[in-house]
Structure 1
Amino acid sequence: MTYYLGIDGGGSKTLAVVSDGTGRILGRGISGCGNHQLGVELADRNIREAAEMALAAAGLKQDDIAYAMFGLAGADREADFQILRPMVAAMGYAKYGIVCDTVIGLRAGTRQSDGVVLICGSGTNCYGMNAAGEELQVGGFGYEFGDFGGGTELAKEAFRAVIRAWEGREKPTALTELILNAAGYDNVSDMFHGFLDEGKRAPHTFAKLLFQVADRDEMARAILERQGRELGCAASAVIHKLKMEADTFEVVLAGSILTRGDGQYVVPFIERQVKEAAPDCRLRTLDLEPAAGALLLAMDRDGMNVAAMVYENLENDLSVKERNVEWVMD
């Protein structure tokens, strides 16, 4: 029997899964941050720990793995790979690959070789591959480099909306009561001065509050609409640059903001723009753990012809459709 290891290393957690060649999950392991940009030693330790847990659960050894695929947040540029290549090589797998976590998100979300993936978790990112195998990433480097949104930035926007409403620069917002409760303050004045005096920053959990009041709050809807338009803009840029306008493919939506929030306030604005760019594309919410994409890429790289049964087994074992999960900015 042939065995594969798939790693999804994100900013908040690392998930490792081991499968056989039929896609049955034999073991899994979870640890902390797997993004080297937040600490190389930390990421190294957590990735190793998650992989060792998955192997132990499967009753396998490292030498049993035919191919290991590492899908890692922060694997964006050559400067990143110069750090990651020796780090992963030192882990000792005979055959392995390293890609950005956007790549495994796309592979998990579509059975085609081509497509586009939009990620909106703690931050945002967009990646695409056309039918000729040409790849492009747009975004993923933060606000200063052109991005908008993700849980971290949306939390700031929610906090700013409350401050601006209190100051009279914006209309009153239903976010005020929720954010005061979440932050543990009785009024905005105390919160304003408390955050300044204590050097506090808006926690990412404020992002979910936007969805809770969006049905009745104009400001919350406007923030979420902007998130949708910005993501649609990134996907459209990928589509145009890769000349995919006439192609039929899927735009995979991944990350907490898109898969665990109420999509009606974000997704329609994504869809409007990508449909203008490529009328025959289809939006699809990722319903598998991205680690499934790492396993599928490992099988691809190993020369395996991935059969329908593999997808079915992965859907049975790694589906996130029905899981009642808390908001986690992955």
Structure 2
Amino acid sequence: MAYYLGIDGGGTKTYALLTDEQGQVLGKGQSGNGNHQIDAAVAAESIRSAAFGAIADAGLQLADIRHTFFGLAGADREPDYRILHPMIRNMGFTDYSVDCDTVIGLRAGTKRPYGVALICGTGTNAAGRNPQGEHVQCGGFDYMYGDFGGGGALNIEVFRSVIRAWDGREQPTQLTELLLPLLGYDTVGEMFDDFYDNQRSVPVDAARLLFAAAAGRDAVALEILNRQGVELGKSAAAVIRRLGMENEAFDVVLAGSLLTRGDRGWIRGPIEQAVRAVAPAASVVTLATEPVVGAVWAAMEADGLTIPEQVYEQMRLFRDFEHIHQTTR
């Protein structure tokens, strides 16, 4: 029996999934930040913890794994790989592949060997592959380098919108009554002083307040979510044009928690509009399974397997990381 391990390392969580060649889930692991650009030492420990947690959960040893595929946030450029390869080899892995997390989101969301993926989780990223096998990435490098949004930026948008409403530069917003209890303050003034005087950071979870406010038709929240959709739509259109896929039929896969677990079309709507304008035959689809499933499938393919339909059907709705206890190794 052959065993395959997939790793999805994001800025907030790292997931590991271990299966056999028939797609039977045998082991799972979960840990924290797996993006070396945020903190390389923490990322290494998170990846190790999740990976070996899944191996232990399956009752196996590392030597039993035929291939491991690491889909990692921050695996964007050659300097990143010069960090990641030694990191992964130091854990004992020899038969492995590594690519950015956008690739595994795409692989998990479409049965075609090509398409486009948009990620909006802690950060944002866009990437695609055309039928000729050419790969293009657009973004994933932070606001200064052209990006907008993701939980690690929208949290700041929430905070500053509350401040701007408080001091009169912005209209009143429901985000105020949502943010204060989340952070544990009675007034905006108290919150402002404590954050400013003590250089506190806004938790990433504050970004999710946008969805609750948008559901209440809050104009400020709707404007922020619309901008997120417009920016992701621009990224998708750029990838499509650079790959020459304007006349192709393919999937644009939406991945990341802000696109798959909260959005009711506020972000997706502008994305669909942008994609339709540049590639009318493309379909925008929301990822229905965990991106780590795409890492498992990529590990199988890297080992030379052709994935049968029954494996797709068995794993395509896998989302069961709710009750995993974090391990430390």
- 1:81 deviation in Å? 0.2
Segments of structure 2 that go 5 or more residues without pairing to the other structure are 324-329
Distance 2:43 2:206 in 1: 26
CA contact (8 A) 1:121 1:257 kept: yes
Cα distance, 1:62 vs structure 2: 1.6
Q: Contact between 2:11 and 2:123, CA under 8 Å: does it hold in 1?
A: no
**% of aligned pairs identical?**
52
Tell me, in whole angstroms, the C-alpha distance in 2 between the residues paired with 1:208 and 1:55: 33
More moved, 143-152 vs 55-64: 55-64
Q: Distance in 2 between matches of 1:175 and 1:94?
A: 48
Given residue 270 of structure 1, which amino acid in structure 2 is its aligned partner?
Answer: I
Gaps of 5+ in 1: 325-330
When the two structures are superposed, what TM-score results if normalisation uses the length of structure 2? 0.93
Q: Residue in 1 aligned with 2:41?
A: 41
Contact map agreement 1:65 1:93 (CA 8 A) in 2: no
The answer (yes or no) to whether the contact 1:10–1:33 under 8 Å persists in 2 is yes
Query: Which residue in the other structure is 1:224 paired with?
Result: 225
Kept in 2: contact 1:151–1:207 (CA 8 A)? yes
Return the letter of the residue paired with 1:267: R
Following TM superposition, by how much is the alpha carbon of 1:190 offset from its aligned partner in structure 2, in angstroms? 2.2
CA distance 1:279–1:33, shift in 2 (3 Å): same
2:63 is matched with 63
What do residues 108-153 of structure 1 show as CA deviations (whole Å, max 9, x unaligned)?
Answer: 1111111111000111110111111100111111110001111121
Contact kept, 8 Å, 1:162 with 1:176, in 2: the verdict is yes
SS at match of 1:81: helix
Which residue number in structure 2 is paired with residue 235 of structure 1? 236
Aligned residue pairs: how many? 322
AA paired with 2:174?
A
CA distance in 2 between partners of 1:78 and 1:60 (Å): 33
Does the aligned pair in 2 maintain the 1:63–1:94 contact within 8 Å?
A: no
2-structure distance, mates of 1:200, 1:28: 34
Q: Is the 8 A contact 2:108 2:316 kept in 1?
A: no
Hey, what does 1:21 align to over in structure 2?
Answer: 21
Q: Is 1:209 aligned to residue 209 of structure 2?
A: yes
SS in 1 for 2:15: strand
Range 264-273 or range 207-216, more displaced: 207-216
Is 2:126 the counterpart of 1:130? no
The correspondence of residues 280-319 of structure 1 with structure 2, limited to 5 A, is 280-315=281-316, 318-319=318-319
* Residues 91-130 of structure 1 mapped to structure 2, 5 A cutoff: 91-130=91-130
Shift of 1:17: 1.3
1:255, CA displacement in angstroms? 0.7
Partner residue in 2 for 1:179: 179
1:165 aligns with: 165
Pick closer, same or farther for the CA change 1:45–1:166 going to 2, 3 Å. closer
Distance 1:32 1:91 in 2: 17
For residue 162 of structure 1, report the CA deviation from its aligned partner: 1.5
Residues 58-112 of structure 1: CA distance to partner in whole angstroms, max 9, x if unpaired?
Answer: 1222222111111111111000000111221233334211111111111011111
Rounded to whole Å, the distance in 2 between the matches of 1:30 and 1:129 is 29
Q: What letter is aligned with 1:155?
A: N
Mapped partners of 1:157, 1:271: distance in 2: 23
| Aligned-partner Cα distance in 1 for 2:138–2:62 | 35
How far residue 323 of structure 1 moved from its aligned partner, in angstroms, is 7.2
Matched, 1:77 2:77: yes
Counterpart position of 2:327? none
Structure 2 partner of 1:328: none
Q: Deviations over 1:23-77 (max 9, x none)?
A: 1111111122222223333222222222222112212222221111111111110
* Contact 2:10 2:122 survives alignment (8 Å): no
Q: Which moved more, 1:101-110 or 1:209-218?
A: 209-218
Question: Can you list the C-alpha shifts for 1:215-236, whole angstroms capped at 9, x where unaligned?
Answer: 3211110011000000000010
Which residue is equivalent to 1:327?
none
